[in-house]
Each structure stands twice: as C-alpha cells, then as structure tokens.
C-alpha cells in the first residue's frame, strides 16, 4: 500500500523549489502587514533583538534539519518523516497531526492576509458607496481558485507559480528600498535614532511577528518530490534562512528611517507610503507574498497528511488508505489536498485566525524543538551509524531546543499548555491503537548509553560510594527456576523499587554454544516482558555455565549496573521441594569470599498476605543480623504492594534481658526514624523446652514475609535443617550479614 516508495514515485524537483517555497513563506504577510508595527512599537534595536531571538530558534533548526537530512534518506512528509523516524511512529504521528493542522490553517491565514492587498478596493466601496464589504468577498473566491489550481494541476503548477510570485516579490522590495519619504529627507532618521522602546511589550510583538520565521522549513515538506533531498534540503533551507535574515535586517532599517513611529504603528500598509509606485507595487507584493505562502502551505500540508496515512497513523485502515492514496507518476496527494483545502475553507469563512495563529506558532515551536532535540541527542549519543555529510554543533541544537521551550511559554503560557495538553491526548489516542510500535526510547537509547558509561567511569574513579558509610542494598540473584516460581523476582522488585538495586540472573546449565546462546536470548526476552508487566526496576539477564558453582563464581565478580559494587547475593529454594538447598549450602563459603551479605529465600505456595506485614525475628546469638533485617524490612515496605502492611519485630532473649532489650529496640527505632510502632515490638522470653521454630510457626503463620537471621557456624552444623521446619510460615528470608549495619 506504500504509494510513496521511491522506486515508484517520479522525483521531479531540485533545490530551487525548496529555496523558493521557504523564502516566499519567510517574506510573507508579516513582512508587509506587521513589521512596520513592530519597528514603530519597539524601535529599530528592539526589532533587531526580535530578529536575534527568533533566529536563535530558526538557525539551529535549519542547521539541525540539514544535518539530519544528509544522514538518512528523507522520504515524503518532510519534518514529520524526520521526527517519526527518530522519535518513533507514535510520537511522530502526534507531532505530525499537529503539524498538518498548523500547515492547513496556515493556508487560511495567508489567504485572509492576501485580502489586505485589496484594501484600496474596500476603501473605495466604503467611501464612494458607503458599502462595507466583508473580507470574504475576496478570500473565498481566492481560496476557491487556489484549491482548483492545486487539485487540478498539483505541485508542479504550484512550483511554477512560485517562480512568478518571487519575481514580483523581488521587484516590490527593490522599489521599496529605492523609495524616499519626506520624513527621511527632513526629519532626523539617523541610524542610531532607533532606540529601544516599549520593551515591556516585547513578547506581545514577538508573538505577532514570529510567523514570519516559520517559513524556514516550508520547503522540507516537498522531500518526497525531490531528486536529491540530501543536497536540496540543506542548501535550499540554509540559503533561504540566511537571505531572510539579511532582508529583514535591511527592511527594519529602511522602515526606521522612512516613517515616524506613530505612522508605523497606525498604518499597516506603511510600506506603500515609502516605496516607489508604492500604491501599486506594495499591494501587489503583499498579494504575491501571501499567495506564495499559501501555495507553499497548500503543497506541504497534503504531503504531511499523506505520509501520516502511509504510516497508518489513524485508527481506521480505510481512512489510512484514502489519505495515503496518490495520483499520477509523482504520487500527487490528491485526497490529502482535498482535506487540506476543506479545512482551510472553514477558517477562511470565519474571516479571522488571530486566536488560532498563536496556537499555530506553538505547534511550529514543538516541531522545531523536536528537530533540534533529535540533532542534539544524536550528537550526545555518538551513534556510529549517524554520519551526516553536513554537521551542525551540539550546543546550537541544544540552544534551539531550549529557546523553543522557553519562547512557547513567554509568548502565551495558556496556549503553550493548551498545545501540550492537546498533543498529549493525541498521543494517548494513537498509542491506544498502536501499542506495538516503538516509542521515544529509540533515540534516547544512545544518549542513555553515554550517560551510563560516563557515570560508571566517574563512580569507579571517585570511589565515593565505596567509601560512603550510608548503606543500601545492591542485590544479585541467580536461579534456575525463574519460570516455575517468581517469589525471588518479587523480592528483588520490592527491594529495587526505590532504595536498592537488583539484578536477576536466570541460570542455564551447560556449555556455551550457538544453540545455548539462542536459548538464552529467548529466556531473556521472556524475563524482560515479565519485568515490564510487573513495572519492575530489576535488571534482567541470563548466564550459561557448566554448573551452579561455576555460575556463582562468575556472578559474584560481575559489576553492578548501579555503579556501586554488588553487596548482597540472594539464593532461593522451594520449601515444599527443597531439591537445590544442598547446592546453596555448598556455595555459601564461595559467596562469603566475595564479602557479600547472603540471603536465602524459602518460597512458599501460600498467597502473600500483605496486610499482615513483615515479621523480623531477632535472637540473642545473631544480633549482627538484626539491623540488616530491619533495614531490608523498611526498604521492602516502601513498595506499593505493602502499602497496608507494617513491620513487627520479635526479639527472643533471657528473662533478665527483657527490659533492656525493649529499651534498646525502642531507642534504635526512634533514633533511626523507622516507621515501626512500639506496640509492634514484641519481646519474648526464651523458654528452655520451647524451640524457636515453634514460636515462629505460631506467631508468624499469617505474615506476608518473615525474616530470620542465621550465622555461618549454624550452617556448618545444621546444614539443611537450618532452613526447614517452618511449615506453618509463608515466605521466609534467611539473612546473614557480613558485618553489622549501622542505622543512623
């Protein structure tokens, strides 16, 4: 269905259409109707500041656009194509739809401005016959004629017409510069007389004249019709932008020395009072500039819409096919042109787009900001596949992005927010129908790689985390049973939610081979999908190793993704069928050789009762584990699964130690600012005939998670018995701290 394939479409345009479309839009309605007002309001240097600020957006955008266009083949859709292929189709479609409406409404804006060229005619009927003609008397027939020409003849006629109107534009501006006025001859029109004026109105005036700068990318929309987009887009765009700056600079100077500020503000066609034969050539130049801008927009907007249809951006397949369908050898977007003209007719009939014009500026700002951001991220990400033949500078692209964001809110905060909210709703709607498409992470990936690399190197060199006394868990877990039970993964998810870091590794026993590698890739894909479903922040990976012991030896040497060293290893076994418990015990000493805290999770088939909270059991002979268990409980409780849970501490000690033990725990909870109520501290007297396991089975039968400390000496003596005998209890986390943690 892709009618825009380069092998099918006949490319007929060179660089000239890009240049003429851009320059005729830059030198458009604002130049003839509003620039005199700007000079009269702000003064010559105030307008110079507007030119400087405006081109702090347009120049970086032109350079970024040229850079991107020389790196990849730009198909139909111009700016939309560039953004969608960088940010992903969903975000690209969001900006593309907004851009299309801006371009379509711009057609109406320029047609309405075209009617101002007939002001002498309107004045004649008003003065001679006392008839006030509505502007639609001219604008609607003009829109009808424009639509007929585009629908009948297509872009080829539009480009030919551009040559004609640019000649008229050139003649009009030449006669304007040759003209003289009484003010320029008898007044004091010195160059330095144009001081700053009314700077409190700077952004009001900027909002009025900013559309003059938006024509810079107009020619890019013809990308699908260009023989060599990589050459034509940079050359045509940059040339038009630079020439536009020069012309606006000299026009500002000419206006400043040719008329008083009062005349500049009050007469929107003040240029006709300055130019030679101005009564004729300036309205003619206005007509030529506005109709050429309208031609540029009415050629570009349908191509943006056609590209959206080709990419199936809309929820209806029939609508996409209708919009994408082209006509003739050049794949002329006839259907897109019909829709564009229909939208333009609506706004022309309304007679004014003053309110909509500011929102149009917002969408153009979003587009330009996106292009600059794409360029900056490519520079920062250092992707070796990004090899443009023309290069901008990363700081210029960053400047363009920042200026776009800042100016949106300075021009009109309400419209800026309205534009962003509208685009958010469009994105949500598109994402709902196209969830399978890649998102914004594609272009950010390279930047994130660079940031991660730089941070890792910085942390390693600085050793700040290694020397810090503030502890946080960085846990690594290895399991062969990832797809049989997921309690260990859940525990890592809880720990990694906010305070800690977790790495989950699925073990594939065997020797490394091509088949094993493919199997590992499949498992990793499943694990990542599971992590996404659970909204987990755990880093997932796989390892192929000949044995469980060799796998442990490998993973305890792995660096943590957090930048700090891993400091805790998590093993897990099934309480009902503890077949791998002996493996865990055999590898305890190996784990401790890496100076790790060791945790062993006994998983239960019982449903986790989060409301019953976390129980921490402390015994007099393993106090070095107490603080680690309390800290882990606090970290786990922060996860939303445990939002209705609480921490209960059970301390079993001799009768003579009851009061002091309670005081010590209360003081620890208080000074450590831990969210544990005093009523949840239970001090139990040690009974000679009652085994600790019986107490735990009794008191913690309903607990969501139970933490019990153990020592290496116990493990050597009791072996598997250390972890068994807790039939009534659900999930149990056995904790062995390498050293006592400090709770501050």
Long-range pairs, 585-594, Cβ under 8 A, ≥24: 585/715, 585/719, 585/720, 586/549, 587/548, 587/549, 587/552, 588/712, 588/715, 590/549, 590/552, 590/553, 590/556, 591/552, 591/556, 592/712, 592/738, 593/556, 594/556, 594/557, 594/569
Burial bucket for residue 476 (CB in 10 Å: 0-12, 13-18, 19+)? buried
Quick check: is 252 in a domain?
yes
Q: In angstroms, rounded to a whole number, what is the distance separating the alpha carbons of residues 433 and 425?
A: 13
Q: In angstroms, rounded to a whole number, what is the distance separating the alpha carbons of residues 262 and 307?
A: 48
Is 415's pLDDT higher than 90? no
Identify whether residues 490 and 394 lie together within a single domain.
no
Quick check: is 440 in a domain?
no
Query: Which has the minimum average pLDDT: 210-219, 255-264, 318-327?
Result: 210-219
Identify whether residues 66 and 113 lie together within a single domain.
yes
Identify whether residues 354 and 484 lie together within a single domain.
no
What is the pLDDT averaged over residues 410-427? 84
Identify whether residues 416 and 303 lie together within a single domain.
yes
Identify whether residues 411 and 316 lie together within a single domain.
yes
What is the pLDDT averaged over residues 31-47? 87
Q: In angstroms, rounded to a whole number, what is the distance separating the alpha carbons of residues 159 and 435?
A: 39
53, two tokens: 């600020």
Which has the closest alpha carbon to 345: 141, 524, 489, 542? 141
What is the pLDDT averaged over residues 62-73? 76
What is the pLDDT averaged over residues 206-220? 73
**Percent of the chain having pLDDT more than 70?**
86
Q: In the chain, how many domains are there? A: 2
What is the pLDDT averaged over residues 352-360? 59
Q: Which of 433, 464, 484 is the last residue of a domain?
A: 433
605: three-class secondary structure by DSSP = coil
Q: Which residues contact 158 (CB under 8 A, 6 or more apart)?
A: 149, 150, 295, 296, 298, 299
Q: Which residues contact 128 (CB under 8 A, 6 or more apart)?
A: none
**pLDDT value of residue 700:** 93
Q: In angstroms, rounded to a whole number, what is the distance separating the alpha carbons of residues 477 and 737?
A: 16
**Percent of the chain having pLDDT more than 90?**
19
Query: Which has the minimum average pLDDT: 54-68, 206-220, 294-308, 662-676?
Result: 206-220
What confidence tier does 185 reach under pLDDT thresholds 50, 70, 90? confident
Q: Which of 433, 463, 497 is the last residue of a domain?
A: 433
Greater confidence, 603 or 462? 603
Which has the closest alpha carbon to 714: 636, 625, 632, 649? 625
What confidence tier does 665 reach under pLDDT thresholds 50, 70, 90? confident
Is 475's pLDDT higher than 70? yes
Is 1's pLDDT higher than 50? no
Is 193's pLDDT higher than 60? no
Q: In angstroms, rounded to a whole number, what is the distance separating the alpha carbons of residues 91 and 684?
A: 60
Identify whether residues 350 and 497 lie together within a single domain.
no
Is 13's pLDDT higher than 70? no
Q: Which residues contact 520 (CB under 8 A, 6 or more apart)?
A: 508, 542, 543, 544
**pLDDT value of residue 186:** 67
Query: Which has the minimum average pLDDT: 125-139, 251-265, 332-346?
Result: 125-139
Per-position DSSP letters for 420-480, written without gaps between them: HHHHHHHHHHHHHH-TTS--THHHHHHHHHHHHHHHHHHHHHH-HHHH-S----EEEEEES
Are 503 and 541 in contact by the 8 Å Cβ rule? The answer is yes
Q: In angstroms, rounded to a whole number, what is the distance separating the alpha carbons of residues 632 and 500?
A: 9
What confidence tier does 549 reach under pLDDT thresholds 50, 70, 90? very high
Instruction: Return the percent helix, strand and coil in the chain, to nearest 5.
Output: 65, 10, 25
What is the pLDDT averaged over residues 576-602? 90
Which has the closest alpha carbon to 221: 150, 277, 318, 155? 155
174, two tokens: 């030449």
Q: Residue 144: left (phi > 0), alpha (psi -120 to 50), or beta?
A: alpha
**pLDDT value of residue 2:** 43
Kindly state the DSSP code that residue 604 receives in the 8-state scheme: -
Q: Which residues contact 436 (CB under 8 A, 6 or more apart)?
A: none
**Total length of the chain:** 744
Are 650 and 615 in contact by the 8 Å Cβ rule? The answer is yes
Q: In angstroms, rounded to a whole number, what is the distance separating the alpha carbons of residues 178 and 175?
A: 5
Quick check: is 556 in a domain?
no
What is the pLDDT averaged over residues 191-211? 75
Is 457's pLDDT higher than 80? no
Identify whether residues 73 and 166 lie together within a single domain.
yes
Q: What is the CATH number of the domain that holds 143?
A: 1.20.1740.10
What angle separates helix 354-381 from helix 79-87, to the nearest 10 degrees? Answer: 50
Cα–Cα–Cα angle for 163, 164, 170, rounded to 5 degrees: 90
Identify whether residues 352 and 499 lie together within a single domain.
no
Q: In angstroms, rounded to a whole number, what is the distance separating the alpha carbons of residues 635 and 652?
A: 24
Q: Which of 433, 459, 494 is the last residue of a domain?
A: 433
- Report the side by side order of strands in the sheet with 568-574: 539-545, 501-509, 474-479, 568-574, 597-603, 732-736, 705-709, 614-619, 647-653, 681-685
Q: Centre a 10 Å sphere on the Cβ of residue 698 and count the other Cβ atoms it contains.
A: 11
Handedness of CA 525, 530, 531, 533 (dihedral sign): positive
What is the pLDDT averaged over residues 601-611? 91
Q: In angstroms, rounded to a whole number, what is the distance separating the alpha carbons of residues 325 and 6?
A: 15
Which has the closest alpha carbon to 279: 369, 421, 172, 169? 172
Quick check: is 370 in a domain?
yes
Quick check: is 521 in a domain?
no
HEC string of 495-523 equals: HHCCCCEEEEEEEEECCCCHHHHHHHHHH
Identify whether residues 387 and 497 lie together within a single domain.
no
Q: Centre a 10 Å sphere on the Cβ of residue 553 and count the other Cβ atoms it contains.
A: 16
Identify whether residues 401 and 498 lie together within a single domain.
no
Domain that holds residue 350: 15-433
Residue with tokens 């309304």: 350
Is 564's pLDDT higher than 80? no
To the nearest 10°, report the CA torsion of 311, 316, 322, 325: 20
**pLDDT value of residue 507:** 93
**pLDDT value of residue 159:** 62
Q: In angstroms, rounded to a whole number, what is the distance separating the alpha carbons of residues 22 and 27?
A: 9
Identify whether residues 483 and 409 lie together within a single domain.
no
What is the pLDDT averaged over residues 650-666? 83
Quick check: is 595 in a domain?
yes
Computed over every residue of the chain, the mean pLDDT equals 82
**pLDDT value of residue 74:** 64
Is 114's pLDDT higher than 90? no
Which has the closest alpha carbon to 459: 474, 475, 444, 442? 474
Identify whether residues 488 and 366 lie together within a single domain.
no
555, two tokens: 């993973």
506, two tokens: 């699925």
HEC string of 671-730 equals: HCCCCCCHHHEEEEECCCCCCHHHHHHHHCCCCCEEEEECCHHHHHHHHHHHHCCCCCCC
Q: In angstroms, rounded to a whole number, what is the distance separating the alpha carbons of residues 660 and 576?
A: 39
Q: In angstroms, rounded to a whole number, what is the distance separating the alpha carbons of residues 198 and 217?
A: 31
657, two tokens: 């130690």
């Amino acid at each position: 269905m892709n009618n825009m394939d380069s092998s099918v479409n006949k490319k007929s345009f060179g660089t000239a259409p890009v240049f003429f479309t851009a320059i005729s839009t830059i030198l458009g309605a604002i130049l003839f109707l509003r620039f005199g007002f700007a000079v009269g309001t702000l003064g010559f240097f105030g307008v110079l500041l507007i030119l400087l600020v405006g081109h702090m957006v347009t120049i970086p955008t032109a350079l970024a656009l040229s850079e991107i266009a020389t790196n990849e083949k730009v198909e139909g859709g111009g700016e939309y194509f560039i953004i969608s292929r960088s940010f992903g189709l969903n975000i690209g479609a969001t900006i593309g739809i907004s851009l299309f409406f801006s371009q379509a409404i711009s057609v109406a804006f320029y047609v309405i401005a075209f009617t101002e060229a007939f002001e002498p005619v309107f004045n004649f009927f008003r003065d001679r016959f006392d008839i006030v003609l509505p502007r639609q008397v001219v604008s609607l027939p003009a829109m009808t004629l424009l639509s007929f020409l585009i629908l009948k003849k297509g872009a080829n006629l539009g480009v030919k017409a551009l040559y004609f109107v640019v000649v008229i534009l050139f003649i009009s501006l030449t006669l304007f510069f040759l003209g003289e006025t009484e003010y320029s001859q008898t007044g004091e029109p010195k160059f330095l007389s144009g001081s700053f004026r009314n700077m409190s109105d700077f952004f009001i005036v900027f909002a009025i004249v900013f559309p003059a700068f938006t024509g810079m990318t107009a020619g890019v929309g013809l990308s699908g019709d260009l023989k060599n987009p990589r050459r034509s887009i940079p050359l045509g765009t940059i040339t038009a932008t630079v020439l536009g700056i020069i012309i606006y600079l000299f026009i500002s100077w000419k206006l400043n020395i040719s008329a008083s500020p009062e005349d500049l503000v009050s007469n929107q066609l003040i240029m006709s009072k300055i130019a030679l034969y101005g009564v004729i050539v300036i309205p003619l130049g206005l007509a030529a500039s506005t109709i050429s801008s309208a031609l540029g927009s009415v050629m570009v907007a349908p191509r943006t819409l056609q590209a959206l249809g080709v990419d199936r951006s809309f929820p209806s397949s029939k609508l996409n096919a209708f919009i994408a369908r082209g006509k003739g050898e050049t794949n002329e977007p006839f259907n897109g042109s019909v829709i564009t003209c229909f939208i333009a007719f609506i706004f022309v009939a309304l007679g004014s787009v003053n309110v909509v014009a500011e929102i149009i500026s917002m969408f153009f700002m979003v587009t330009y900001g996106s292009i600059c951001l794409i360029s900056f991220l490519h520079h920062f990400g250092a992707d070796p596949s990004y090899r443009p033949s023309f290069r901008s500078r990363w700081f210029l692209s960053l400047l363009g992005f920042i200026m776009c964001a800042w100016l949106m809110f300075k021009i009109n905060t309400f419209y800026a927010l309205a534009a962003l909210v509208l685009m958010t709703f469009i994105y949500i709607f598109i994402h709902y129908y196209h969830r399978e498409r890649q998102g914004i992470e594609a272009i950010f990936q390279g930047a994130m790689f660079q940031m991660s690399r730089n941070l890792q190197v910085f942390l390693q060199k600085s050793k700040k985390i290694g020397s810090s006394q503030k502890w946080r868990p960085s846990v690594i877990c290895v399991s062969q049973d990832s797809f049989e039970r997921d309690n260990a993964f859940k525990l890592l998810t809880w720990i990694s939610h906010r305070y800690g870091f977790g790495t989950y590794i699925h073990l594939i026993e065997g020797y490394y081979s091509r088949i094993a590698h493919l199997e590992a890739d499949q498992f990793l894909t499943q694990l990542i999908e599971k992590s996404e479903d659970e909204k987990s922040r755990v880093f997932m990976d796989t390892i192929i190793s000949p044995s469980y012991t060799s796998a442990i030896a490998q993973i305890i040497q792995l660096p943590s993704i957090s930048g700090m060293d891993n400091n805790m290893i998590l093993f897990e076994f099934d309480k009902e069928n503890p077949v791998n418990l002996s493996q865990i015990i055999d590898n305890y000493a190996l784990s401790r050789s890496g100076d790790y805290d060791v945790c062993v999770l006994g998983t239960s088939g019982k449903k986790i009762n989060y409301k019953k909270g976390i129980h921490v059991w402390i015994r007099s002979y393993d106090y070095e584990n107490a603080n680690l268990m309390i800290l882990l409980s606090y970290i786990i409780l922060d996860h939303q699964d445990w939002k209705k849970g609480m921490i209960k501490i059970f301390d079993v000690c001799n009768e003579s130690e009851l009061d002091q033990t309670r005081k010590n725990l209360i003081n620890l909870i208080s000074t450590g600012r831990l969210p544990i109520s005093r009523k949840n501290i239970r001090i139990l007297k040690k009974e000679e005939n009652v085994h600790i396991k019986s107490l735990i089975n009794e008191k913690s039968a309903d607990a969501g998670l139970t933490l019990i400390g153990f020592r290496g000496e116990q493990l050597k003596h009791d072996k598997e018995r250390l972890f068994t005998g807790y039939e009534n209890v659900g999930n149990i986390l056995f904790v062995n701290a390498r050293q006592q943690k400090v709770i501050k």
